[in-house]
Structure 1
Amino acid sequence: MLCLRGAARWFGRHRVFSGLDFDVPTGTRLLVTGGNGSGKTTLLRCLAGTLSLTSGAALVDGHPAGSPAARRALGVCLNPEQGLYGSLSGRDNLLLAARLRLPAAAARRMVARVEDEFEIGPFARVPVQRCSAGMRARVTIARSLLADPAALVLDEPGRSLDERARNLLWAALDRRPQLACVVVSHQSEDQSRCGRTLTFPVRR
């Protein structure tokens, strides 16, 4: 479902990673760990198609990363506390994103579903600029699951979440056992939730 072949990314003369090959099949979770600045977020951006590889290929469900077909198949959360419209409520942010992929009635049903999963209801109508970092993170993570993507990339999803919210996150992923997930995390407890681990830096 998620695939890298001979992947390399350089910034000028700085090599982030090279010769990277892996597959994340349907139903598999890959945990990516490593120190700050080691290239973990760069890897996710290449899978999401917001950053191009220097060489090699990144595929989502067989489609080049960043292509329309790949974007439809992939849920993305790279900045759990950011990327929302501050003047809009959490619900309106979710509805706006859902309507980009779904008809109106289906969008409302999907938003209601993820609001329930992440217990967003109590603050759903509050402008997100007035919400805590943890509240905003719940909304952005929930947004990545709209339209039932086949694959998911999450960058430090639990960094602003309390224990209750982290449990809600993993419960939501458990309800979607078919997802192919790549999760960047520094939290050791997340390793037990993932079947495989990739440690950065990867330089060959």
Structure 2
Amino acid sequence: MPMLRLVRATRRFGRRGVFTDLDLEVAAGERVLLAGANGSGKTTLLRCLSGTLTLSAGQATVAGHPVGSPAARQVTGVCLAPEQGLYEQLTAHQNIAFVARLRLPRRAVSAAVSGIEEELGIARYASLPAARCSAGMRARISIARSLVAAPALLLLDEPGRSLDEEGRRSLWQTIDRRPELTCVVASHHADDGNRCRRRLTLTAAG
């Protein structure tokens, strides 16, 4: 069973088609780069895969479960806006722990949060409120939240946009430690493309 499967997946906004009849199968552990110009539908596709946006037609499954279902969400880590979506008044640690508590057994939360903070270099500012973190720090926190519950599928949208070279290296080292992790990443960064074995290029409608 593929980790991710699309069958004639289509998304429209009104009469405007974003992508049409898209077929894709991604095995466990594969990395797929979503390429294409701005406006070609990369973020829209990731939103459909995460379940935050529904397909207009076709089917999409994660580990055999319909995208957006509780079972699919449980195994999907999502980071679609690395610098946004954090709870501003909570610390970096509290932001990560919030997600961990929703997805992990209580006894596993502390070790999971501490582990991902160390891997991504967050421990040194874990007590800082998110509102006081730089864009790069916020990106690391958002990535940590997407990984803390050990997902089977990771969806990333321009993860390195606000990361410096060290931050991008830390991100991919963290992913490399999880060879079973399936990763779909939308990015214009050459290094991200080089890290992926497969490429799916989307073309802007019209």
* Shorter-normalised TM range: over 0.9
141, 149, 158: which is aligned to 2:143? 141
Cα displacement (A) at 1:202: 7.0
Give the corresponding residue for 2:59. 57
Counterparts of 2:191 and 2:122 in 1: how far apart (Å)? 24
Which amino acid in the other structure matches residue 25 of structure 1? A
* 164-173 or 143-152, larger mean C-alpha shift: 143-152
* 1:15 is the counterpart of 2:17: yes
Which amino acid in the other structure matches residue 188 of structure 1? A
Cα displacement (A) at 1:33: 0.9
TM-score normalised per structure 1: 0.97
TM-score normalised per structure 2: 0.97
CA displacement, residues 13-52 of structure 1 (integer Å, 9 cap, x when unaligned): 1000001000111010000011111100000000001000
70, 73, 89: which is aligned to 1:71? 73
Give the corresponding residue for 1:183. 185
Give the corresponding residue for 2:38. 36
Counterparts of 2:204 and 2:4 in 1: how far apart (Å)? 18
Which amino acid in the other structure matches residue 166 of structure 1? R
Cα displacement (A) at 1:104: 2.6
Counterparts of 2:109 and 2:4 in 1: how far apart (Å)? 26
Which amino acid in the other structure matches residue 31 of structure 1? L
Aligned residues: 203
3, 6, 9: which is aligned to 2:5? 3
Residue segments in structure 2 that go unaligned for 5+ positions in a row: none
Give the corresponding residue for 2:49. 47
* 1:88 is the counterpart of 2:95: no
* 1:110 is the counterpart of 2:112: yes
For residue 54 of structure 2, give the secondary structure of its aligned residue in structure 1. coil
Which amino acid in the other structure matches residue 176 of structure 1? R
Residue segments in structure 1 that go unaligned for 5+ positions in a row: none
For residue 100 of structure 1, give the secondary structure of its aligned residue in structure 2. helix
